[in-house]
Amino acid sequence: MFLKKLVYLFAVILLICNYAFGIEESIDTQSLREMFQNNNSVIYSLNIRTFNADDKDGNGIIQFSRGETSGSFINAIDRLDELKSLGINTVHLLPITPVGKIKALGTAGSLYSLSDFRGLNNQLSDAQSELSLRNQAKKFVEECHNRNIKVIVDLPSCGAYDLFINRPDLFVLNEDGSPVIPADWTDVRLFNVPDDEKLFTSDIFVLHKFFVRNMIDLGVDGIRADVATLKPFIFWQELIKYARSLNSDFMFLAEASESWTKPASDKAYFTDYKKLLEAGFDGYYGNYFELKNWDTMDELEDAVISQQKVFKKYSDKKSVIGSFETHDEVSPLIIGGENYSKIIIWLNATLPLNPYYVDGFLQADDYIYDYSNKKAAETYTDDDYYYVHQGQIDIFNFSRRPGTDSTILSDEHKLAMNLRNNFLDVITKGSFVALPSDNGKVFAYQRIYKKKSVVVIINRNLVNAEDVKIKVKKINKKSKITFVKDKSDKLFSKSSFSAKLKPAEIIIFTIEN
- Asked whether residue 26 is assigned to any structural domain, the reply reads no
Residue 29's pLDDT is 84
d(CA 292, CA 399): 28
**Other beta carbons less than 10 A from residue 21's beta carbon:** 11
Residue 496's pLDDT is 84
- Asked whether residue 8 is assigned to any structural domain, the reply reads no
Does 275 share its domain with 374? yes
Q: In the chain, how many domains are there?
A: 2
- Asked whether residue 104 is assigned to any structural domain, the reply reads yes
Residues in the chain, total: 513
Cα 89 to the center of its chain, rounded Å: 12
d(CA 428, CA 434): 16
Q: What is this structure's pTM? A: 0.93
**Rounded to the nearest 5°, which phi and psi values hold at 320?**
-150, 160
d(CA 385, CA 238): 41
Does 456 share its domain with 353? no
Helix (H) or strand (E) holding 492: strand 491-493
- Closest listed residue to residue 102, CA positions, set 182, 46, 166, 34: 166
d(CA 446, CA 223): 32
Does 385 share its domain with 490? no
Cα 403 to the center of its chain, rounded Å: 17
Residue 9's pLDDT is 44
DSSP string, 360-387: TTTTT-----TTTTPBPSS-SSS--B--
Residue 144's pLDDT is 98
Q: Which of 422, 439, 455 is the last residue of a domain?
A: 422
- Asked whether residue 9 is assigned to any structural domain, the reply reads no
Does 267 share its domain with 383? yes
Task: With a cut of 50, list the residues of the chain below it in pLDDT.
Answer: 1-25
- Closest listed residue to residue 244, CA positions, set 94, 30, 91, 31: 31
**Other beta carbons less than 10 A from residue 113's beta carbon:** 32
Q: Would you say the C-alpha torsion 194, 195, 196, 197 has a positive or negative sign?
A: positive
Q: What is the CATH number of the domain that holds 502?
A: 2.60.40.1180
Helix (H) or strand (E) holding 192: none
Q: What is the CATH number of the domain that holds 388?
A: 3.20.20.80
Q: Which of 370, 405, 422 is the last residue of a domain?
A: 422
DSSP string, 454-481: EEEEEE--SSS-EEEEEEPSS--TT-EE
Does 506 share its domain with 415? no
Does 107 share its domain with 141? yes
- Asked whether residue 482 is assigned to any structural domain, the reply reads yes
Does 144 share its domain with 166? yes
Residue 25's pLDDT is 46
Can you give the residue range of the structural domain that contains 88?
31-422
Beta strands in 192-266, from DSSP E residues, in sequence order: 222-225, 251-254
d(CA 276, CA 250): 16
Mean pLDDT (the chain, rounded) = 93
Does 122 share its domain with 51? yes
Does 358 share its domain with 505? no
Does 412 share its domain with 463? no
- Closest listed residue to residue 361, CA positions, set 284, 413, 290, 310: 413
- Closest listed residue to residue 320, CA positions, set 303, 335, 298, 299: 303
Residue 1 burial class via C-beta count within 10 angstroms: exposed 0-12, middle 13-18, buried 19 and up: exposed
Angle of helix 233-246 versus helix 203-218 axis, rounded to 10: 40
